[in-house]
Homo-oligomer: A and B are copies of this chain.
Amino acid sequence: MADADPPDLGAYTTRAGAAAIGARLRRLSERIDRDAGRLYAEIGVDFEQRWFGVLNLLSLFGPLSVGELAAALEVSHVAVSQVRQALTAAGLISWEADARDGRRRALRLTDQGQALVERLAPLWRALAEAAVELDQEAEAALAALERLERALARRSLLDRARDRLAPRP
């Protein structure tokens, strides 16, 4: 027997879209990360998607400090520090104090790390190509994202909303 017909909630996310955009973005990002994770599991490699940024940068640019990595990835230094811990435990990177500045620690791929990068390269290529395909199918969604980021950088959502509550003199 049909339930006392529930209200039409289907269109809610779309309708509330503006305010709920944050949640939608998070869901999307989680879905993407999870898919990448499954791909690693399927080919039997012990790797987590959140390691990607650090490992890829180290393989592209050589040894880098925590701060440099954080700046390039646009995350907090703490996030990098945590990834560093995991990567060190996995034996993929080494972690020596910088000779010229005792505060810094240079992260560097180990041989094992280098080997893993090479093993994962085709996967990363496949993911990148799939993302390009997806982007084309979605008619330049990435470019739209960049425009959104730039618009937010010009003026934050907070400032924009605040003005509408108490308009500027």
* A positions within 8 Å CB-CB of B: 6-7, 9-10, 12-14, 16-33, 35-36, 38-39, 42-43, 49-50, 52-53, 56-57, 60-62, 64, 68, 71-75, 122-135, 137-152, 154, 156-158, 160-162, 164-165
A151–B130 contact, CB under 8 A? no
A9–B157 contact, CB under 8 A? no
A20–B53 contact, CB under 8 A? yes
B147–A139 contact, CB under 8 A? yes
Tallying the copies of this chain within the complex gives 2
- Which chain B residue lies CB-closest to A133? B160
- Which chain B residue lies CB-closest to A52? B19
19 contacts between A and B (CB under 8 A): A12-B57, A12-B72, A13-B74, A18-B128, A21-B29, A22-B32, A23-B53, A25-B28, A26-B26, A27-B75, A29-B29, A31-B157, A36-B157, A36-B161, A130-B164, A134-B148, A134-B157, A137-B151, A138-B147
CB distance from A124 to the nearest CB of B (A): 6
